[in-house]
């Protein structure tokens, strides 16, 4: 079974500084996908970034980048130039292997609460 | 397109009552997922639809839970004889067959069973 581990329950970062949120995963599959989602207090899960297991380059989306270290099975999220609006829960997730039924369900970690300090 | 829409946003119910939640996915998305999120945890998969067909169900989906997507558009999730352990955020997500990357989530329905 897939497993996602986020070891930081909470993190603080000064506004305009960079922060790294840790994520390790466990899978025996060769083909998988890794995601980061942001969940503000409103509840909606907002997609941030995706990394495929065969992608050779680390994914980047604006201020977000994913530090993908396949051998170590880690997929850390780096947020550069933190903003007050970045304060939220952040979840790392892995896409389950294709089930044959067309589902690409996600397995989530427990999340990290990021607080940006002015 | 306004994204994935869920209704209601909040629901308080007495133990033993039935509740029904609705999800309207992004219009061209044929895949629809329901997840449950309890306090301090990440979302957990409940069930999956492709068009109107319910193709996968998690073992978390007990007999008291039923989900439908009658015309392949909106979906409903019903919980019968609610229990306090059902208190959670219920999230709906949708994606398109051609997109094997992200799913788009709604804002969720927060259920409190008293």
pLDDT in tens, A95-116: 876 656 556 788 999 999 999 9
pLDDT at B98: 67
pLDDT at B72: 86
- Mean pLDDT, rounded, of chain B: 92
A81 contacts A16 by C-beta, under 8 angstroms: yes
Chain B residues with CB under 8 Å of A101 CB are: 48, 50, 55-56
Find, among A44, A41, A23, the residue nearest to A32 by Cα: A23
C-alpha span between B64 and B80 (Å, rounded): 5
* DSSP-derived 3-state class of residue A31: coil
C-alpha span between A117 and A12 (Å, rounded): 7
C-alpha span between B79 and B89 (Å, rounded): 13
What's the gap in Å between the CA of B56 and the closest CA on chain A?
7
pLDDT at B11: 98
Interface residues on B facing A, Cβ-Cβ cutoff 8 A: 9, 31, 33, 35, 40-45, 48, 50, 55-56, 89, 91, 93, 95, 97, 100-108, 110
pLDDT at B10: 97
B45 contacts B103 by C-beta, under 8 angstroms: no
A90 contacts B43 by C-beta, under 8 angstroms: no
pLDDT in tens, B56-107: 899 888 999 999 999 889 999 999 999 999 999 999 999 887 665 678 999 9
pLDDT at B85: 95
A78 contacts A20 by C-beta, under 8 angstroms: yes
C-alpha span between A2 and B70 (Å, rounded): 31
A41 touches chain B (CB under 8 A): no
B100 contacts A33 by C-beta, under 8 angstroms: yes
| Sign of the dihedral through C-alpha A65, A69, A75, A76 | negative
Q: Kindly compute the dihedral angle of the four CA atoms of residues B40, B45, B51, B54, in this order, to the nearest 10 degrees.
A: -140
Interchain CB distance below 8 Å, B102 and A35: yes
* DSSP-derived 3-state class of residue A86: helix
More confident residue, A55 or B46: B46
């Amino acid at each position: 079974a897939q497993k996602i581990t986020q070891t930081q329950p909470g993190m603080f970062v000064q506004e305009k500084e960079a922060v790294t949120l840790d994520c390790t995963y466990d899978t025996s599959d060769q083909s998988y996908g890794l995601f980061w989602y942001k969940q503000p207090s409103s509840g909606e899960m907002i997609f941030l970034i995706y990394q495929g297991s065969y992608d050779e380059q680390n994914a980047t989306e604006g201020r977000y980048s994913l530090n993908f270290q396949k051998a170590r099975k880690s997929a850390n999220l780096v947020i550069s130039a933190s903003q007050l609006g970045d304060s939220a829960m952040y979840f790392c997730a892995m896409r389950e292997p294709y089930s044959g039924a067309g589902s690409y369900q996600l397995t989530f970690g427990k999340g990290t609460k990021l607080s940006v300090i002015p | 397109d306004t994204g994935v829409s869920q209704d209601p946003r909040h629901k308080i119910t007495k133990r033993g009552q039935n509740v029904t939640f609705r999800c309207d996915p992004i219009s061209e998305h044929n895949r629809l997922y329901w997840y449950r999120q309890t306090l301090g945890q990440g979302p957990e998969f409940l069930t999956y639809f492709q068009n109107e067909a319910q193709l996968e169900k998690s073992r978390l989906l007990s007999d008291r839970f039923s989900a439908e997507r009658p015309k392949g558009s909106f979906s409903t999730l019903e919980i019968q004889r609610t229990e306090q352990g059902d208190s959670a955020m219920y999230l709906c997500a949708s994606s398109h067959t051609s997109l094997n990357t992200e799913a788009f989530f709604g804002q969720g329905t927060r259920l409190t069973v008293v």
